[in-house]
């Protein structure tokens, strides 16, 4: 993992130093899991739940996505997921769904960067 990649990841919203610590300071381990992140279904589940107007499923998916984002120190994605999660937890579906737009923006920015670095999964 060279400095250029680290810079790109930082621009995509990752606190790289934090994330590396979480992956036992192993860059190869972080990269391995980043590739898995590209295939992680949490985001898609959230979008499906919002499209289906399913508050409970939206809560579960945003909750999972928040955890996943936190593990990678994707700060923006974690914050937006967390905000939407709290709305869904309180049963405020419309307000939650509104925040999910921010989740999508953060998520797409990350996927775009990862695809540029590692290619499409």
Answer whether 72's CB lies under 8 Å from 37's CB.
yes
Q: What does the block give as tokens for 86?
A: 């709290």
Nearer to other proteins (CB atom), residue 62 or residue 113: 62
**Buried b or exposed e, range 17-35, using 16+ CB within 10 angstroms:** eebbebbeeeeeebbebbe
When asked if residue 8 is in the footprint of other proteins (CB under 8 A), the reply is no
* Contacts (CB under 8 A) with other proteins, residues 31-90: 33, 36-37, 40, 42, 60, 63-64, 66-68, 70-73, 82, 85
When asked if residue 29 is in the footprint of other proteins (CB under 8 A), the reply is yes
Interface with other proteins: number of residues (CB under 8 A): 22
What residues have CB less than 8 Å from 87, skipping those under 6 apart?
Answer: 93, 95, 96, 99
Q: Tell me how far apart the alpha carbons of residues 74 and 79 are, in angstroms, rounded to a whole number.
A: 9
Nearer to other proteins (CB atom), residue 74 or residue 93: 74
Minimum CB–partner distance for residue 35 and other proteins (Å): 10
Minimum CB–partner distance for residue 69 and other proteins (Å): 8
Q: What does the block give as tokens for 14?
A: 């990752």
Please give the residue ranges that form the binding site for other proteins (CB under 8 A): 21-24, 29, 33, 36-37, 40, 42, 60, 63-64, 66-68, 70-73, 82, 85
């Amino acid at each position: 993992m060279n400095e250029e990649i680290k810079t790109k990841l930082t621009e995509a919203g990752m606190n790289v130093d934090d994330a590396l610590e979480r992956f036992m300071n192993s860059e190869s381990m972080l990269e391995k899991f980043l590739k898995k992140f590209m295939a992680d279904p949490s985001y898609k589940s959230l979008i499906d739940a919002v499209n289906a107007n399913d508050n409970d499923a939206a809560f579960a998916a945003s909750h999972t996505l928040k955890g996943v984002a936190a593990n990678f120190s994707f700060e923006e994605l974690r914050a937006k997921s967390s905000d939407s999660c709290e709305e869904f937890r309180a049963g405020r579906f419309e307000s939650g769904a509104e925040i999910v737009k921010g989740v999508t923006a953060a998520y797409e920015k990350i996927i775009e960067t990862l695809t540029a670095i590692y290619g499409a999964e």
